[in-house]
Amino acid sequence: MASDGRPVEQDDSDPVMEDGRVYRNPTEVQMNQIVLPCHANHRQELSVGQLLKWMDSTACLSAERHAGCPCVTASVDDIHFEHTISVGQVLNIKAKVNRAFNSSMEVGIEVSCEDLYKNQYWKVCQAFATFVARSTGQEKIHLKQLAPGTHREQVEYSVAAERRRMRLRHVDLMKDLLSSAAFQTGVSVGVSDAEGQDEDREEEVPAERTRVESVELVLPTHANHQVNTFGGQIMAWMENVATIAASRLCHAHATLRTIDMFHFRGPSQVGDRIILKAIINNTFKNSSMEVGVCAEAYQGEEPLRHINSAFMMFEVLDEEGRPRPLPPIRPEPLHGRRRYKEAIARKKIRLDRKYIISCEQTEVPLSVPWDPSNQVYLSYNNVFALKMLAGRNSWILSSKKNNVGLYTLEENQTLCFRIESQVNVPAARAFLLLSDLSRRNEWDKNYKRSEMILQVDEDDLIYHVLTPSVTQGGKVQDFILLASRRPPCDTGDPYVVALRSVTLPTHPPTDDYNRGEVLCAGFTIYEVSESVSKISYYNQTNPGVLPYIATDIAGLSSSFCSTFLLCGQYLMENRTEPSVLSSSVTTPL
């Protein structure tokens, strides 16, 4: 048992309790299925629709285990399918609730596959779905909080709040980007289109040739005991029409690679007729195509209700398993042309999202250029990285002076440090003061000047920071830092100020300064009592940062302590001043 009462975790293996039992999350649900011919397509591969149904029902059972009442699928984040699964193999699905919010919960789903005869295991995909608890009456349910049982669960719990923020902004973000003037003028439709066509490609195929429409009647087997249609069933029907549209283009089997994040806009019940429509929106040079699917419901004479729209990326493989080039699409006028352009924009956003979000912090290059279309993902990556760093359980106390602790952590060839102390300042006030980077030079001699150059949104700002040279007579260093400020999402959560380098075309490196880069840094601020907070500063060092702290870590100096004492003094002096932030900090989502 760890000193904080949690079970001990060793690497990736299941954590073990003091009495020798393996720890198990109380909301975890597992499903194991042997893939039979009735679950497969004509190529003897598990159909993705069936997989989505199993994933949704496992996740729903996990959500209901926590909520204690019926739950419905509200949304599913991007899913990337890494492998196909064959008849005879065993599918294992594990789902557990990462965090409960008000009436909604984030459920993490992991899918792996096992070949019983070859004794092999592999990962198929990972997904995050949001379920909403429904009461039988009109009132909104308020779910009980989840108590993370391990450090890993604590980290998942913490980053789930940031994923929720990204999810809830997704729809607006897509709308804004697709209608933005820059995007509209940057994409043209036709043979000369930069993304879609070149001279070697075959003749264009009219998009309407790929159009599919299909109807399904919702029967009791497609719904839960509250007669609500299972989200997984709707997804399976959507995948079915999308696969037909995709295969129509190339007269070959199309493999589904990615489903974009989507939202179930309204409920459906037994007796609904579900109309599913699909068409190819665009094909791309890398042999992939985007198929859009729309699901609508009606009963009797009622008008159609929009249930869901999803965008799926397919590719076609040749006999050797290599991606096969696809013919270009000629979109229909009006909506077809709009969707054709939007598919190009979604492709860029999808790549940003996959690249920035699914990579480890150390794999995302420091020089990621910031732009409005990847802002949400860079901010997510920023906060995620800091929360992951803070959530590590192998920090070692390196030295302590005047109640300021210096901790270090060595992992994957990188050295991280944490400086920690308590101050007699309310957490909200400390957050307000520390999240304003333009005042950091008032207490940190390593910040010569810090100027806000872009207010991205209420909680994210970009600063230009100047720091003294580490070598005598050397050039001043400068940094372009994205600062993401997050108030707590719930009691027990810390305030977070996450910092990472980005690049901005408006602020390229100049001869006057040495451009430095920050991998991951920032503050977490916990409320200890109404008037006391615990402040931790984190930094994942790189060769540029190490000289500032090396002598402290080696025990040769304690400048970390004097800097942090100055920080405490600054907070004390300003503890009652009116807000001086360069912009307001919003309340949590």
Binding site for ligand COA (CB under 6 A): 72-75, 101-104, 130, 132, 167-168, 228-229, 231, 234, 263-268, 307
Give 294 or 433: the residue with its C-beta nearer to ligand ADP. 294
Give 49 or 292: the residue with its C-beta nearer to ligand ADP. 292
- Cβ of 189: how many Cβ atoms within 10 Å? 17
Give 73 or 243: the residue with its C-beta nearer to ligand COA. 73
Least gap, CB of 4 to ligand COA (angstroms): 27
Least gap, CB of 426 to ligand COA (angstroms): 26
Instruction: Sort strands 514-515 and 477-486 into parallel, antiparallel or unpaired.
Output: parallel
Partners of 534 in the β-ladder: 422, 526
Least gap, CB of 40 to ligand COA (angstroms): 25
Give 15 or 328: the residue with its C-beta nearer to ligand ADP. 328
Least gap, CB of 585 to ligand ADP (angstroms): 34
Least gap, CB of 141 to ligand COA (angstroms): 8
List the single partner that 265 binds among ligand ADP, ligand COA, none, CB under 5 to 8 Å by kind: ligand COA
Within 8 A by CB and 6+ apart from 29, the residues are 58, 59, 61, 62, 65, 94, 95, 96
Give 68 or 206: the residue with its C-beta nearer to ligand ADP. 206
List the single partner that 279 binds among ligand COA, ligand ADP, none, CB under 5 to 8 Å by kind: ligand ADP
Least gap, CB of 98 to ligand COA (angstroms): 13
Contact 392, 409 (CB under 8 A): yes
List the single partner that 540 binds among ligand COA, ligand ADP, none, CB under 5 to 8 Å by kind: none
Contact 347, 371 (CB under 8 A): no
Kind plus residue range of the DSSP H or E element containing 157: helix 151-179
Q: Is 209 helix (H, G, I), strand (E, B) or coil?
A: helix
Least gap, CB of 344 to ligand ADP (angstroms): 13
List the single partner that 266 binds among ligand COA, ligand ADP, none, CB under 5 to 8 Å by kind: ligand COA
List the single partner that 514 binds among ligand ADP, ligand COA, none, CB under 5 to 8 Å by kind: none
List the single partner that 268 binds among ligand COA, ligand ADP, none, CB under 5 to 8 Å by kind: ligand COA
- 344: nearest Cα among 288, 294, 295: 288
Least gap, CB of 569 to ligand COA (angstroms): 39
Cα-based torsion angle of the residue sequence 110, 113, 114, 115 in order, rounded to the nearest 10 degrees: 180
Least gap, CB of 380 to ligand ADP (angstroms): 24
Give 102 or 286: the residue with its C-beta nearer to ligand COA. 102
Contact 518, 508 (CB under 8 A): no
Contact 514, 474 (CB under 8 A): yes
Least gap, CB of 265 to ligand COA (angstroms): 5
Give 164 or 500: the residue with its C-beta nearer to ligand COA. 164
Instruction: Sort strands 288-298 and 305-316 into parallel, antiparallel or unpaired.
Output: antiparallel
Distance (Å, whole) CA 180 – CA 169 = 16
Give 309 or 583: the residue with its C-beta nearer to ligand ADP. 309
Contact 480, 451 (CB under 8 A): no
Distance (Å, whole) CA 547 – CA 557 = 12
List the single partner that 229 binds among ligand ADP, ligand COA, none, CB under 5 to 8 Å by kind: ligand COA
Give 7 or 232: the residue with its C-beta nearer to ligand COA. 232
Helix pair 427-434, 559-573: axis angle to 10 deg = 110
Partners of 255 in the β-ladder: 315
List the single partner that 339 binds among ligand ADP, ligand COA, none, CB under 5 to 8 Å by kind: ligand ADP
**How far is CA 315 from each of CA 321, 323, 503, rounded to the nearest angstrom?**
11, 7, 33
**Residue of this chain nearest to ligand ADP (CB atom):** 292
Give 187 or 466: the residue with its C-beta nearer to ligand ADP. 187
Distance (Å, whole) CA 12 – CA 482 = 32
Give 211 or 400: the residue with its C-beta nearer to ligand ADP. 211
List the single partner that 563 binds among ligand COA, ligand ADP, none, CB under 5 to 8 Å by kind: none
Contact 329, 201 (CB under 8 A): no
Least gap, CB of 267 to ligand COA (angstroms): 3
Within 8 A by CB and 6+ apart from 561, the residues are 401, 402, 404, 406
List the single partner that 167 binds among ligand COA, ligand ADP, none, CB under 5 to 8 Å by kind: ligand COA
List the single partner that 281 binds among ligand COA, ligand ADP, none, CB under 5 to 8 Å by kind: ligand ADP
Kindly list the residues in this chain that would bind ligand ADP in the complex (CB under 6 A).
Answer: 211, 277-279, 281, 292-294, 309, 335, 339
Distance (Å, whole) CA 89 – CA 118 = 10
- 128: nearest Cα among 91, 84, 78, 85: 78
